[in-house]
Chains A and B, each alone.
Chain A
Amino acid sequence: MIGKDLEQTLRDTLDRSLDQIDDHTVAALAQARAAALTPRRRWPVVVGGLALAATVAGIVATLPRSPGVSPSAVSAPPLAELAWQEDPDMLNDMELLLVLGEDAVGGPDAG
């Protein structure tokens, strides 16, 4: 098909062409190789991080709670209780607004 001499010469020429690849390209290839291997190298770090997070979560969950503070003590009062708490200033303001509203609707000439 192709002479052995020619075949070998072509092979040698192609091998020689590898030495002609410039430094910038060689560096880019090394960088590409490192990038390709990076996700694999990160894997143990990710697993280690997850293990640490699980340990911390476990410790927090098993910590004894302080006996002096009950959940109800720090929770907010129910809304129904808040509804009955009156603010005198707010009531005065509302009354004033109602009077002004009646004046605006009826007006001084309405009567």
Chain B
Amino acid sequence: MASATAPRDRALDRFLASVERRAYRMAEMATRSHHDALDVVQDAMLALVTRYSERPEAEWGPLFHRILQTRLLDYHRRQKVRGRVLSFFRPVASDCDDDEDMSATLPDLHTAEPAVSLERARDMDTVLDVLRRLPMRQQQAFLLRIWEGYDVAHTAEIMGCSEGSVKTHLFRATQALRHALES
């Protein structure tokens, strides 16, 4: 039995090692907390190993991201509930991040200077800061589509929503990003 699981364990180890830093960066942007990000990533790793290790290796990537994104969404929901309890008077956004639109507070698109935005897009702190400020679903859609390179169908599957929602989230995310980088 040990001989049968050893190659699988090594493959799992290799897979997790290949995704753990990206997963941490995603979780850190979503939670804005080092410790919470580590907890979420470890939780996602454990869930993949215990539940899906017998699945084909090709499925591990989407499965891991689905687990990770679900954990991050749960984290956000818990934070919102905690926020409601702690603050009676502070307005709290609804569970659906569609209502949060950062672009509404940003400058007009017509003042855009592509060269400037491209230059700012190279600045790591600026990019990370802008991404951290994006609403959760927009952040997920952007990172999965643009950074991880999943197509719309896979992104929708990972996020547990329709392809139309992915397109909407991604559109808003890229608009907000462009506005933020050009402002």
Contacts and interface: CB of A to CB of B under 8 A. Distances in A.
A46 to B, nearest CB: 10
Contact of B121 (A10, A25, A32, A35): A10
A40 B45 contact: no
B16 A33 contact: yes
Contacts, number: 99
Nearest to B173: A2
A41 B42 CA distance: 17
Interface size class of chain B, counting residues whose CB lies under 8 Å from the partner chain = 35 or more
A39 B12 CA distance: 13
B38 A32 contact: yes
A47 B5 CA distance: 13
Interface of A: 1-3, 5-7, 9-14, 16-18, 20-21, 25-26, 28-30, 32-33, 35-37, 39-41, 43-44, 47
25 contacts: A2-B174, A6-B121, A7-B146, A9-B122, A10-B121, A10-B127, A12-B122, A14-B25, A14-B127, A14-B143, A17-B124, A17-B127, A18-B21, A18-B25, A25-B34, A29-B24, A32-B20, A32-B41, A32-B42, A33-B13, A33-B17, A36-B42, A37-B9, A43-B5, A44-B2
Interface of B: 1-2, 5, 9, 12-13, 16-17, 20-22, 24-25, 34, 38, 41-42, 45-46, 48-50, 53, 114, 117-118, 121-124, 127-128, 143, 146-147, 170-171, 174, 177-178, 181
